[in-house]
Structures are given as structure tokens and as C-alpha cells.
Structure 1
Amino acid sequence: MPQPTGPATAPRAPATASSPPSAPPPFPPQSGPPPQEALAPRAPVPPAVSEATRLLCVGVHHDRAFREAVLDELYVHEERFPAPSVGIDAGRVLSHAVRARNHEVGWAGGIVGLWLLGLIVSGGLLALALLGSVGLVVARWIRGSGSADTGVGLVRRAVAFYVRWLSRLYLVYLFFAVVLAALFLGGGTFSGGSGFGPGLSDPLGFARLAAFLTLLVLAGIVACVALRRGQFARVVSEELSPSRFPHAQSDPAETTAGPRLSHLRTRLRAEQHQPLVMYEEDWPFRGFGTPFHTWSLAIELRPRGEAAPVPLDNGEILRRIVPLVEALRVPSPRKDPAAAAAVIDRLRELRLDECVFLPADGLEWRNGAPYAPDAFAAHRAAALEEGGEARRHFLRIRVGGWDEELVVTVFVRVHTQGGMLMAEFAPHVLTPVRRGYRLAEREARRHRALSWPGHIAWALVHTPSSFGDSVRTLGGWLWGELRRAFAGYAGAPAEGPSAAVRELGTDEDLSLFQEMDLDRYLKTIQDRVAGGVRTALREAGWATDEFDQKIIHVANGGVYIDSAKDSAIGIGNDNKISHTPGGKGGGKK
């Protein structure tokens, strides 16, 4: 497994009292090359060890809904092609999703077993506690995950608040009642006078024994809840720590996979980064994020002078664009070579390739996709000039900022037909991984720092809802296994992706710095693409005045970034931007 490059500049230690006033403050490191490699091409961080992959792996341990969505798409539906994994390794996320589910199912089975044991030995006392546990789960369901800004959302939150606290007070009352019963009820002895406790023939003595057994079972449940949380905190803070995560060969999720997971993961890794994109007809760009200022322009091809112009095909125009875009990887000239060596701009990690989109409909089997290099070359050669509808060729330009958390992918397509030139520019943006996953990592480290009374207190607070949560976990696992075994997905005709792992774990908001970087990436790439088209036209003897006017109109539209929340981000004044709620990506104009 290739290792990520080291930081371009080592972080400095904080200034002490004896430090000179000019000592620079510490700053977070950014992955980059050592200075002597500054002018050489620089590869991005490998997807399997990117920060985005690490946070998504944290997410499948922390977020049950996200984990179930990943497993449904990649583990249950074997017939679906995976969406392109931009900047991540979906195979590693899948490995952690399976491992997290196995952990959860194991703990859930133990907790449900203890609850059922308690129902038997407690004489029905624990059945009363189940009512409160179910009430807490119902309160969570009533509250939902929708916005509280609407009237319905406020009502649901108010009802959930009432049900939740009513259940909590009921459980507190029941707990103290059981403790009092265990301490003060009954007398007598076992079997008529052994002196060890209440007599079984005494109703009050039996109630006291049931109370003792109830407390014993509850102690076991509390221990399971505490140990389950401790295991989660250890996995997140140790196995998925920034220092250990890059060493994939020591990741237990990678080394303990069963035969089925190993097979699915191998096939997934062979498909997820292919230049041939097998897409679902309704959402061809699924996996690349939200459409962002997609524009196209058409111009009449007119000779610039008296001489006959050279005919231009699509491939020739793209060949003029490529070197201009590739030049963005090179730092601008500086007086001091050391200053050029220190440049760690993410444009230096820009990736540029050609891709072909093919519809998945019509393929009988998933393994029938033409991924072989010679098959892709044939599709590329045919799609480049044909201008087809279902099969499309694009020049693909990608920049992964913020350790692959902000990913900008620009698709460029040119087509000449009937004396007209059509240029298409289709950027897509993947916003950062959910902030909740980063916060879950902090919470896990904080939890491990608790004293033993703190661990017990945490477990006591979360024990009442443990039965409902465990039943839900076991039900989801059983449902998924039944569907996998009997729904016939493994032998079904091939389908395009229904969801993308990266999009499922995406936040909708950008920080101001990220918005500024996004603006810079897009403006820079757009200018170079336009320059390539202009150069190709001019050198071939075609007039460029109409193209210059239209591209200036696009550029002068300005950039306005308000928020990525609940909508795509608009560039210009007269844009039509489609957005898929929930981060599903893709979109149609």
C-alpha cells in the first residue's frame, strides 16, 4: 500500500517565553512533497488513506443509518455497479461497515439475551422496565431527523420531549422501587432456615429475591452497555486515528474479512476508479457530487481570413486544452527557488484524464462491463467523435482540496456538427464529510479519558434505551441477511449505482475558506479550458470573436456563493442549477 507523502513543512513548536517575538505560530500540516520535489509532478494522497476515507470509516461506526445505507448498496445489492469513489476507497469503508455491524450485532444479541433472562428470573419486574425502554425509542422516532423550523417539526419535538421525560421518570421511580424491595422486603430463610436469605414460600421473600435478581441482571446490562461504548471509543481513537490509519496492512477491518467480504471488496476496488463509468440513466454523474454552474455555448465556425481553415475534430480541440490545464500543476516563477519549493497549493495535485460514460442498462451481468484497457480504448475512440447520447466522452479534471474533503470535478466536452462548435463545461462538487463524524472522534477520545465512575454514569444513562436499540439493530441485520439470501440480487441483471458512499456521508455546508478555494479552482480551470478552445480555433484559422464574446459573458457573470445548504451553489446571474436533496448527487438541467 503506498504511503501518503509527508508534510511540505513540519509544524513548528509553540513559542515559549524565551522565543523571539518573530517566531511563527504553529499551524496544522498539509500533505505535500519535500522541498526538493517541489517542481516535479505531485500525486494526491492515495484514496485508501485520505482523510475523507478515514472520517467515513468513523462514520460507519458512529452512524447506524449511514452504515446501513453503505451495506445495502455495496454488500446486499451485488448486482449494482459502484458509483465512482472520488478521493476515497469505498472498499475500506465497506470493510469497516461490516466490522461495525458485526460488533453491534454481537453486543445487541448479548443485551437482548440479558433482558430476556431478566424477564424470567425477575418474576416480571423487568417487564415493567421494558415499557420505559420502548418509550424512549418511540420518543426518538417521534422526534425524527427533520427540521424544527416548521410547525410540524416543533409539534413532533414537543411530543417527543414529553414522552422521553415521562419514560425517564417512570424508569427512575421503578429503579428505586426495586432497590427498596431488595433491601427491605421479606424475611425468613431458604428451605426453612438456612439463614442465607428470604424463603421461597414467603411471597415477600420471593419478591425480595426477584428484586435482587433484577438488580443483578441490570448490572450485567449496564456492563454490556459500558463495554460496547468502550470498544467503539477504542476503535475510533486508536485503529482509526490519523497516525495509525495510513497503515492499512495493520487495520483489523482489512485483515479479518471473511471470504464473501473479501470477494466483494476486491471487485469493488477493481471498479470504483475506472475511467469507464457505468451509470444509471436517471443520474449519470452520481458519485461526483452536486452540479455546480454547468454551462454550454455554441458558436458558428467561420474562417478568420482568406485562407481555408484547417478542419477541427473533437480530439484535436481537447489536445490543445490538456497542456494548458496540466500547466496548473507547476508553481509560478519566483525569485527565490525555496519559495517555489514551499508551494503546497492543491492545484499541484490536479488530475486530468479521459473518461467514457456507458449506461448499465442492457448488461446481463455486472462482470460483463468492458473494463479491460483495450475495450476502454475502443469505447474512447468511438465516443470521442460520434457525439452520441447514451455513450459520452469527457475530459475529466479533478482537484481534491482539504485532504479530499472538498473535491471539484470538471467534465469538459466539445462537439462539432454542421459548422457549429458546442463546448460543455460541467463542474460537480463534493462537499466535506459530515462534521458529526469528526465530532464523534473527539467524543470517543473524551470518553476514554473518563474515570471509572464516569463510565458507569454514562452506561446508567444509556441503559434504559438499550433494549429498543438492540432490537432495532438485530432486526436491521436480520432483514438485510434475508434480502441478501432470498431476493436474488446476486443473479439479477446489472444495474447502475443507486447511491454513492461519498455522497451519503457528505455535509451540505462549506466554510468560508472552502468556498474561496472552490471559487479559485473553478475560475482557474475555466479560464484554461476556454484558452485551449480559443487557441485551437485560432491556430486552425477559425474566427474566435464570437467565442471570446460568449466566454467573457460567462466569466463576467461573477461568482456568488451564499451557502451550499439545501441548494446547489450558483455562479453567475442566469443559472439553472439542479440539486438533489440529501446529497445524492447527479442532476438534470
Structure 2
Amino acid sequence: MSQTAVPPQSASTPDPQLLGKAAVDPAVSEAGRLLCAGTYLDPRFRDRVIDELYVHDERVAAPSYGIDAARVLGHALRARRGELAWSAAVVAVWVSAAWATGGWFPTRFLLPCLLLSAAAWAVRATRGAPVLRAPARLLQLYARLLMGALLLTTAMAPLIRAKESLLDSWFVDSLHWSVRTLDLQFRLLPLDWQYKLYFDPGDDTWLQSPYMSLGLLLVLAVLVGLRHERTARTMSGPLSPEHYADLARDPAERSPGPRLRLVRELIRGEQHWPVVMYATANPFCGAGMPFRPWHLSVELRPRTDIGPEGPHAVGNEEILRRVLPLVEALRVPSAHGTPQVAAAVLDRLRELVVDECVFLPVKGLRRREDVPVGADEFEEHRAGAIEEGGEKRRHFLRIRVGGWDEGIVVTVFVRVHTQGGMLMLEVAPHVLRPVRRSFQEADDTAQCFGRDNAVALSLRALANAPQALVVAVAALARGLVSGWRAVTAVSDRARPTGPEAAVRELGADPDASLFQAMDVDRYLKTIQDRVARGVQLALYEAGWQTAEFEQKAVTLGQGAVYIQSVHNSAVGIGDSNTVSASTGAAGGEKEPKRAKT
């Protein structure tokens, strides 16, 4: 095993700043702020959060590493209330327009609005498929030309009825040709409807005036602009980096209903507690994706150089007790000459968090309020689980590092068990990937909205107004489905179940930058080396051989674990690993170089 030099710690009380820094409060973390912003930007993400935490309130909350899931839920509900109010206003405008114009407005503009919405969806869906992207762009071009022709004929209808000579000649003919060419429903309508809808506004009442139709489109554009303005105001207000830390000013935390208040209290009692209630299908829900988990199993053999007394028994707690100080020492900066320079080190390992947790199956729990969230209950489970090596109740040493403002969270679960003269070491690293890039751009979107002038904002709202109906109907449908589930699918007598999804995982991006990937590797290799080193020292101090432990390397997936010693080494590389070991001088066990603690 590689000899890791642990920074020495003097007997006197050291400067607390040199021992480590407090981890970021999950309630005010940057990752949590971006996830709250994501509830206003992505309706699917918002609906998944509400469904997991609010609709299915029988599900125990998954661990929330680096965020406060209750705060994200509050903003998700607030964003949905605002979207439902906006959607109802949009649908009301269309219904009022249909009634006021005798069906003239929707018959004329419904098809191009639907086509524009379909084209926008197709362009987004084919972003990664160049072959399909061209037809989507053609559909978008066709929809825009059709909408332009209809708007032009609507605006020119009074002039056409005036039968001016210029319009009677070439202009009217060109309008007839454009409509017949572009509008598919033009050919399906009777002749009298064709003329009435496209070239004759009908009666001279103000309700059937073509300018009334243009006014209704302007009203829709105003609603779209107000929606964008509200989102931008939220991003620059309560969700801005300057104001997010002030929980008292957060509008999502004010005046919650009794059900939301209860759910929020349950989430905040469960999400950061060391007792993890899990579903069997996904016990590590919330920790992210597994990242090259590995395990070792070695036979415990007495050393030949310890004399007649022989080795003493080594338990799981004793081994973890030896691992703990080596891992915690990663918080200490390397020597930098002066304490001031050392205190200025920003390495995220200084905020490393180490604790013990117990995994319990949620099956069999009668009420969600019965989740053990008391200190005495946790200590009882910890004391019972650390040595028992059970299948369902499992004890882990949990080591967590949050980097990139909690955008990258590395969690390493370590479990040690001795049985039948064998030692089993299980290491299960998990990685939470960065928050979605679209969420990270929320601040830029708000700033662009604030910098744009009135002309730019108006043009953008006018361009998005035709798509407002589809967006509104979809939002109302989602709200109806969610409300129906909340009323029918949840019962106070329903038995608790384990989490099916975690807020932090739902808002994660599938990709990470090269710098972030390098940091993940660095955190994992450093932690794993200290864990292996601690186990080796515990075995040696108890009088057991460590050569076999030093030589073994187990690889899973595409990763490899490298354990090296001055005397013995083994390494596995690549997918189809070939493990080779070189052994030093034969003979009895040699004492490993001890880390300074």
C-alpha cells in the first residue's frame, strides 16, 4: 500500500481554521438555489418534484446531499400556482375570442398556432439528430409563413373591402394565391367561409373587426411577457445569490397550508438524518450514480513475529475507529509556511464530512411519523448494526465531499465485516453530477431580460404568443392530473414506502466537465487510499498479517482500484484487467510504516 504521509497534529489545541471548514448549509447552497430556479424553468422537473414529495406523501424522503428538498418543493408549488393562473388566463382569452367573434378567431388562427407549437417541439426534440432536424425546420418555416400570411390578410381586410384600384389588381390576387398555397384548411372550407374568413371580416361591428383579432393576439403577447417578467423577477429577487440565504424573505416559505407544513416538517426531519430508510430496489437513492464500487475479502492469519500471545480479536468498530482519524486528517492543509497561507487553502477536502449512518428497510413501518429521527434511536440502531453484519439493517461509515458549490457531490460508503476468520471491506462510491446547465443559466436569463429594451421584449413576446395556447392547455392538464392524484392516491392510512426518486438526482445533468471529472477522481482516490490504509493499520496493530490485503485489487465495470505497498503491489487496469503482483523478500510480516497521527 502506498505510504500516505498524514499531516502531523500537535498535542496543543490547533487553529480550528487549519483543521477544516464547515460544510455549506444545505438550506442555502448554490445547488439548492439552482434547483429552486429549475422549478420555474422546467415543468417536467417541477411535476416530478411535486409528485415525489407532495402527491405521494407516504414516501419517505431520500437523503438530500447538499440541498434542502423541502425548500425546492415550496418553490415547485409556488411555480405551479403561478403557471396555472397564467394558463387559465390564456385559455380564457381564447374562449372569449371564440364567443365574441362567433368562432371566427379560433377558426382562422388555431391551425397556425398549433403548427408553430409542434414545430418548436420538433426542433427541440431533434437537437441531437441532424437528419430529422431539417424537416423540423421546414415545418417551422411553413408555420411562420402561414401565420404571416394570415396576419397580413387580417390587417389588410378593411382596405380590401374598400376596393381601391391598386388592391383590386395585383395585391388582392397575391393574397389569394398565398392563402390558397399555405393554408390547408382553406381548401377544406366552403367557398362562402373561405371568403368570409380571409377576405371579408363580416359585419362592421367592433367585435368582428379584424383589428379585434389583432388586439386579442396582443393580449396574448402581454400575458406571455408578464410570464417571462415574473420568472425574471423571481430569479433576480428571492432566488438571487444575494437574497437566497435569507430564508425569512423567501415567498415560498410563507403561509404554507397545513398539508404542506406537515410534509415540509417530515422532509426536513428525514433528509439529513443518519438513519436512512430505503426501498430494496434502490437503497442508495439520493447519493447519485454508483462510481466503481469495490470490495476486498481476505483471510485473517496471525503474524509470526508477535510472540506466543497471538493476535487479539479485531471487530468492525475497532477497524473503523482506525480509519476515521486518517480520513478526517484530509481536512488539514499541507504545510504552507505560515498559518495564514494554510488557512487560505480552498480545497474542498477541507469541508469533508464524515459520519456514521444506518440503512433500515422501510417495509414494515406503520406510519411515516414513526421513522426513527431521535438521537437515542439512532445510537441504538448503530450499536446493534455495526457488528451484526445483517442483510437488511446495514451500518456504513459515510464520507462526503461537496465540490463546485455542491454541484459535484462525492459520497463514499464504507462497510467492514468480519465473519468466519475472513475480513470483508466494502466501498461504495457514489457521485452526484452537476445541476442541469439550463438551471445554471437562470441568472443569465434574468439579466438578459433586465437588460433588453421594451422593443426587444415586445418582439419576443409577440413571437411566443401563438404558442401560448398549447403551453397553457398542457399546464392545465398536468395540474388536473396532479390534483387528481393528490386527492385519490394518498391516504393518511397508507403504509410508508421508500423513495423512488431524489430531488437532487432529478435535477442532475448527465455530463460533467473535465475539471469536475478530475476532481471526482482525486476525491475518490484520496479517500479510498486512506480507508485502505486505516484497515491495514488496524489489522497489523491487532496482530494479523496484511500482505494479502496489500496485494488484492478488485475491479468492477470500467474502473480500477490501486493498492500498493513498498513490499507488495497489485494493479488492475481497463475493462479486462490483468492483475500482476510483485513480492519483496520472503519472510515474516514486516511492520508497515505508521502514519503520524
TM bucket, shorter chain: 0.7 to 0.9
SS in structure 1 at match of 2:466: coil
Counterparts of 1:488 and 1:339, CA distance in 2: 56
The aligned counterpart of 2:60 is: 81
- Does 1:69 find its partner at 2:48? yes
Evaluate the alpha carbon distance shift between residue 316 and residue 183 of structure 1 in structure 2; reply closer, same or farther with a 3 A threshold: farther
The aligned counterpart of 2:185 is: none
Counterparts of 2:15 and 2:321, CA distance in 1: 30
Work out whether residues 32 and 68 of structure 2, in 8 Å CA contact, stay in contact via their aligned partners in 1.
yes
- Does 1:368 find its partner at 2:370? yes
Residue 556 of structure 1 and its aligned partner are, at CA, apart by 3.5
Residue 334 of structure 1 and its aligned partner are, at CA, apart by 2.9
SS in structure 2 at match of 1:331: coil
Q: TM-score, normalised by structure 1?
A: 0.82
The aligned counterpart of 2:278 is: 279
Work out whether residues 40 and 46 of structure 2, in 8 Å CA contact, stay in contact via their aligned partners in 1.
yes
The aligned counterpart of 2:442 is: 440
Please, which of 119, 123, 127 is the counterpart of residue 139 of structure 1? 119
Work out whether residues 393 and 413 of structure 1, in 8 Å CA contact, stay in contact via their aligned partners in 2.
yes
Work out whether residues 356 and 394 of structure 1, in 8 Å CA contact, stay in contact via their aligned partners in 2.
yes
- Does 1:425 find its partner at 2:427? yes
- Does 1:528 find its partner at 2:530? yes
Evaluate the alpha carbon distance shift between residue 572 and residue 373 of structure 1 in structure 2; reply closer, same or farther with a 3 A threshold: farther
- Does 1:267 find its partner at 2:246? no
Work out whether residues 52 and 433 of structure 1, in 8 Å CA contact, stay in contact via their aligned partners in 2.
yes
- Does 1:162 find its partner at 2:121? no
Q: Which moved more, 1:133-142 or 1:289-298?
A: 133-142
Counterparts of 2:353 and 2:484, CA distance in 1: 42
The aligned counterpart of 2:341 is: 339
The aligned counterpart of 1:7 is: none
Residue 142 of structure 1 and its aligned partner are, at CA, apart by 4.8
The aligned counterpart of 1:174 is: 150
Residues 365-417 of structure 1 show CA distances to partners (whole Å, capped at 9, x for unaligned) of 22222222222222111111111111111000000011111100000001100
Work out whether residues 182 and 209 of structure 1, in 8 Å CA contact, stay in contact via their aligned partners in 2.
no
User: Unpaired runs of 5+ in structure 2?
Assistant: 1-13, 164-200, 565-571, 578-597
Work out whether residues 85 and 502 of structure 1, in 8 Å CA contact, stay in contact via their aligned partners in 2.
yes
- Matched to 1:279, the amino acid is Y
- Does 1:358 find its partner at 2:360? yes
Counterparts of 2:221 and 2:84, CA distance in 1: 17
Work out whether residues 29 and 405 of structure 2, in 8 Å CA contact, stay in contact via their aligned partners in 1.
yes
Counterparts of 1:261 and 1:408, CA distance in 2: 31
Residue 164 of structure 1 and its aligned partner are, at CA, apart by 2.8
**If you compute each CA radius of gyration, which structure gives the higher value, 1 or 2?**
2
- Matched to 2:574, the amino acid is N
Please, which of 99, 102, 112 is the counterpart of residue 78 of structure 2? 99
- Does 1:45 find its partner at 2:28? no
Residue 247 of structure 1 and its aligned partner are, at CA, apart by 1.1
Work out whether residues 218 and 462 of structure 2, in 8 Å CA contact, stay in contact via their aligned partners in 1.
no
The aligned counterpart of 1:289 is: 288
Counterparts of 1:209 and 1:88, CA distance in 2: 54
Work out whether residues 291 and 431 of structure 2, in 8 Å CA contact, stay in contact via their aligned partners in 1.
yes
Matches within 5 A, 1:535-574: 535-550=537-552, 555-556=561-562, 572-574=573-575
Evaluate the alpha carbon distance shift between residue 130 and residue 575 of structure 1 in structure 2; reply closer, same or farther with a 3 A threshold: farther
Counterparts of 1:390 and 1:415, CA distance in 2: 14
The aligned counterpart of 1:501 is: 503
Counterparts of 2:563 and 2:576, CA distance in 1: 10
Residue 528 of structure 1 and its aligned partner are, at CA, apart by 0.8
Counterparts of 1:483 and 1:575, CA distance in 2: 48
Residues 431-477 of structure 1 show CA distances to partners (whole Å, capped at 9, x for unaligned) of 11011112232122101211111111011000010001000001101
Evaluate the alpha carbon distance shift between residue 552 and residue 427 of structure 1 in structure 2; reply closer, same or farther with a 3 A threshold: closer
Counterparts of 2:68 and 2:158, CA distance in 1: 55
Counterparts of 1:387 and 1:36, CA distance in 2: 39
The aligned counterpart of 1:241 is: 240
Residue 255 of structure 1 and its aligned partner are, at CA, apart by 1.9
Counterparts of 1:304 and 1:253, CA distance in 2: 63
Identity of counterpart residues, as a percentage? Answer: 48
SS in structure 2 at match of 1:311: coil
Number of aligned residues: 513
**Cα RMSD, aligned residues only:** 2.5
- Does 1:56 find its partner at 2:35? yes
Counterparts of 2:502 and 2:342, CA distance in 1: 38
SS in structure 2 at match of 1:415: strand
Residues 166-216 of structure 1 show CA distances to partners (whole Å, capped at 9, x for unaligned) of 2222222111222122565479xxxxxxxxxxxxxx945248843232222
Work out whether residues 95 and 253 of structure 1, in 8 Å CA contact, stay in contact via their aligned partners in 2.
yes
Evaluate the alpha carbon distance shift between residue 541 and residue 203 of structure 1 in structure 2; reply closer, same or farther with a 3 A threshold: closer
Q: TM-score, normalised by structure 2?
A: 0.81
Matches within 5 A, 1:373-412: 373-412=375-414
Counterparts of 1:203 and 1:436, CA distance in 2: 47
- Matched to 1:94, the amino acid is L
- Does 1:465 find its partner at 2:467? yes
